Amino acid sequence: MASNEGTSSNVKGTILSGMRPTGRLHLGNYLGALENWVNLQQDFRCIYSIVDIHALTTLESPSDVENIQPNIHEMALDWLAAGVDPEQSIVFIQSHVPEVMTLHTLLSMVTPLGWLMRVPTFKEKVRQMDETEESVNYGLVGYPVLQTADIIIYKADTVPVGQDQLPHLELAREIVRRFNHRFGDTFPEPQARLTEAPLILGLEGQQKMSKSLDNHIDLASTPEETAQRVLTAFTDPQRLRRSDPGRPEVCNVYSLHKLFSTEEDVATVHEECTTAQRGCVDCKRHLAGSVNAFLEPLRERRRVLEEKPDYVREILLEGGRKARSIAQETIGEVYEKMGLGLPV
């Protein structure tokens, strides 16, 4: 492996972002985050983490633990196939840097419980898990503190987020301000880099594309699997017969055409739909072809990587070594400022 750590004299700052290991990624993940990660590598020092410790906060059965390692591998394949470049970025597994858990503990000493309880996503997670606030595990309550540690242990100053994630980042900034006030300037306040990504609705056309809702299309699906999935997509609910003119503006299939088909094809789809020259099944078959054409280069790179599991594993191990080197320096500084002396 090359020793390049993804640094450059003209970088704008340090990016930190991560994903929980849920296995294969889907189109919504790609357009909502992964595509942006790849582009950010040109201008920033990027650190991308598969956050497996975070996955432990919502375990529901023993099989969830058994799936973590396979899910990590599948996610790494999708990242690398999409263009996350280990020669430009640090790519690693969160638990390979135990110092982040140390920093999490130390940050918890300066983080009021009330700050954590007011995070909007905490109450939503409790509801989804059918728990009460009194019965959920501490890890879920302290999730934002660990998330803060993930960011600042690498002195990251920029975090790509969507609008809905801003409360989490603002909490991280509050924790940083309190730490710096008590112990002296140590960490930069991470700034949001808002990700302008299209909302990708699932195949039912009602909710955001999500694996848990089974309304998604995996990046790594075969062309045949993709075509089968697309054929289940909902279209204009008022178009009951083939001879009825369609309304592309309310059809999710048409919105996906605008993302994956050529401009010329989109214009043709609109014309033939509104004049009832094209049926919904034909339209979905056309979309499946466009999606498959869009994904084929990524899928080919993924097929090559699947044949080299040791190479993928070494990328993650090397990324972990690089990330840990940075984290150990930070922990040394934190120990000294908090009166703990230097770590052994």
Tell me how many degrees the CA angle 57-59-61 measures, rounded to the nearest 5: 165
Question: pLDDT value at position 138?
Answer: 83
Give catalytic status of residue 284 as yes or no. Answer: no
208 in active site: yes
| Lowest model confidence (mean pLDDT) among 22-26, 65-69, 238-242, 314-318 | 238-242
Return the closest-CA partner of residue 30 out of 293, 259, 320, 323: 259
pLDDT of 2 strictly over 50: no
Mean pLDDT, the chain, integer: 91
pLDDT at 9 over 80: no
Query: Which listed residue (125, 258, 308, 322) is catalytic?
Result: 125
Mean pLDDT along residues 119-123 = 73
Of 66-80, 123-137, 208-222, 281-295, the poorest mean pLDDT is in 123-137
Euclidean distance between CA atoms 32 and 259, whole angstroms: 12
Most confident among 119-133, 214-228, 236-250 (mean pLDDT):
214-228
Q: What is the mean pLDDT of residues 258-277?
A: 95
Does the pLDDT at position 122 exceed 80? no
The answer to which of 40-54, 55-69, 106-120, 146-160 has the lowest mean pLDDT is: 55-69
Residue-wise pLDDT for 35-56, tens only, equals 999 999 999 999 999 999 999 9
Q: Which amino acid, 66?
A: E
What integer pLDDT is reported at residue 128 of this predicted model?
Answer: 66
Q: What pLDDT is recorded for position 62?
A: 73
pLDDT digits (tens, 9 = 90+) for 274-307: 999 999 999 999 999 999 999 999 999 999 999 9
> Would you place residue 89 in the very low, low, confident or very high pLDDT band (cuts 50, 70, 90)?
very high
Sign of the torsion angle spanned by Cα atoms 44, 50, 52, 57: positive
Position 5 scores a pLDDT of 45
Whether 68 has a pLDDT exceeding 50, the answer reads yes
State whether the Cα torsion 149-152-154-160 is positive or negative: positive
Compute the distance between CA of residue 23 and CA of residue 153 in angstroms, rounded to an integer: 26
DSSP states of 97-135: -THHHHHHHHHHTT--HHHHHT-HHHHHHHHHTT--TTT
Give me the pLDDT at residue 3, please: 39
Catalytic residue among 211, 258, 284, 322: 211
* C-beta of residue 278 within 8 angstroms of C-beta of residue 272: yes
pLDDT for position 151: 98
pTM: 0.90
Q: For residue 139, what pLDDT band results from cuts at 50, 70 and 90?
A: confident
* List 12, 123, 155, 208, catalytic entry: 208
Residue 337 has pLDDT above 50, yes or no: yes
The pLDDT value given to residue 132: 65
pLDDT (0 to 100) of residue 1 = 40
Give pLDDT, residue 166: 87
Query: What was the pLDDT predicted at 7?
Result: 44
- Please classify residue 275 by burial: count the beta carbons closer than 10 Å to its beta carbon, then call 0-12 exposed, 13-18 middle and 19+ buried: exposed
CA distance readout (Å), 67 to 56, 126, 150 = 11, 22, 22
Q: Whose structure tokens read 């990330």?
A: 323
For the question of residue 211 being annotated catalytic, the response is yes
d(CA 335, CA 341) in angstroms, rounded, equals 6
pLDDT digit string, tens, across residues 184-226: 999 999 999 987 777 899 999 999 999 989 999 999 999 999 9
Q: Residues 220, 199, 55, CA angle at the centre, nearest 5°?
A: 60
**Separate counts of helices (H) and strands (E) for the chain:** 15, 5
Residue 179, pLDDT score: 98
Please give the pLDDT value at position 332. Answer: 95
